[in-house]
């Protein structure tokens, strides 16, 4: 098997997960594919590898252009298809922040984090909070098995707030 491993300097959007993390997620995908009688195509592992080189959120377009930039051609249809699989095996999570595209994020060992979203400019800032985490996990929801959560806190960032104050003068 020959995983696509681009050998180049990483741009600002990229930040390698540790090799061991990448190997682990490949393993998880591999087992998932075997279990479901699906094929181990190079595209699948190239997409997974690329996703695990991205720090933060991304959309399908981002993955697509990053792979093209590596001279690794995959169609968008294939990316959509495979992100679906990665969602199923919990290697990726989906975010819907309210922009026009669906955002995704690697989820293995990424840790739970919360998002602050400015309702004016749309900037997203992440934070962690153990009290919130504890409160969510202490909540027993009838008839449901909890797997994960996402918290979106809405408000106004300082930049936009200052802009607003100027405008109302």
Partner DNA sequence: TTTACTGCAAATATTTTGCAATATC
Partner DNA sequence: GATATTGCAAAATATTTGCAGTAAA
Do residues 97 and 77 make contact, with C-beta atoms less than 8 angstroms apart? Answer: no
Least distance from C-beta 59 to DNA, angstroms? 6
Round to whole Å and give the CA distance between 103 and 8.
25
Q: Under DSSP, is residue 94 helix (H, G, I), strand (E, B) or coil?
A: strand
Is the CB of residue 105 less than 8 Å from the CB of residue 92?
yes
Nearer to its own copies (CB atom), residue 56 or residue 98: 98
In the bound complex, what is the minimum distance in angstroms from residue 50's beta carbon to its own copies?
Answer: 23
The residues of the shown chain that bind its own copies, judged by CB under 8 A, are 94, 96-98, 102, 116, 118-119, 125, 127, 129, 131-132, 134-136, 138-139, 141, 143-158, 161
- Pick one of DNA, its own copies, none as the site partner of residue 37 (Cβ within 5 to 8 A by kind): DNA
Say how far apart CA 67 and CA 144 lie, in whole Å: 38
Does residue 5 interact with DNA by CB under 7 A?
Answer: no
- Interaction mask 124-163, DNA, x per CB under 7 A: ----------------------------------------
> Between residues 16 and 129, which has the closer beta carbon with respect to its own copies?
129
Which residues within the stretch 26-85 sit at the binding site for DNA (CB under 7 A)?
33, 37-44, 59-61, 73-78, 80-82, 84
* Cβ 50 vs Cβ 62: under 8 Å: no
What number of other Cβ atoms are within 10 A of residue 55's Cβ?
16
Q: What is the DSSP letter of 140?
A: P
Which residues in 99-114 are b (16+ Cβ under 10 Å) and which e? Answer: eeeebbbbbbebebeb
In this complex, which beta carbon is closest to DNA, that of residue 16 or of residue 61?
A: 61
The one of DNA, its own copies, none whose footprint includes residue 56, by CB under 5 to 8 A per kind, is none
End-to-end CA distance of the chain: 65
Binding site for DNA (CB under 7 A): 33, 37-44, 59-61, 73-78, 80-82, 84, 100-102
């Amino acid at each position: 098997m020959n995983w696509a491993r681009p050998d180049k300097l990483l741009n600002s959007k990229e930040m390698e997960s540790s090799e061991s993390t990448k190997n682990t997620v490949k393993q998880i995908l591999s087992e998932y594919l075997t279990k479901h009688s699906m094929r181990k195509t190079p595209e699948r592992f190239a997409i997974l590898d690329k996703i695990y080189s991205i720090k933060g959120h991304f959309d399908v377009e981002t993955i697509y252009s990053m792979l093209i930039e590596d001279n690794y051609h995959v169609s968008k249809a294939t990316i959509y298809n495979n992100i679906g699989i990665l969602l199923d095996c919990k290697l990726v999570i989906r975010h819907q922040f309210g922009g026009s595209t669906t955002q995704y994020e690697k989820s293995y060992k990424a840790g739970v984090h919360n998002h602050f979203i400015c309702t004016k400019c749309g900037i997203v800032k992440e934070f962690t909070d153990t009290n919130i985490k504890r409160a969510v996990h202490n909540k027993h929801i009838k008839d449901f098995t909890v797997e994960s959560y996402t918290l979106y806190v809405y408000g106004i960032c300082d930049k936009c707030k200052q802009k607003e104050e100027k405008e109302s003068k």
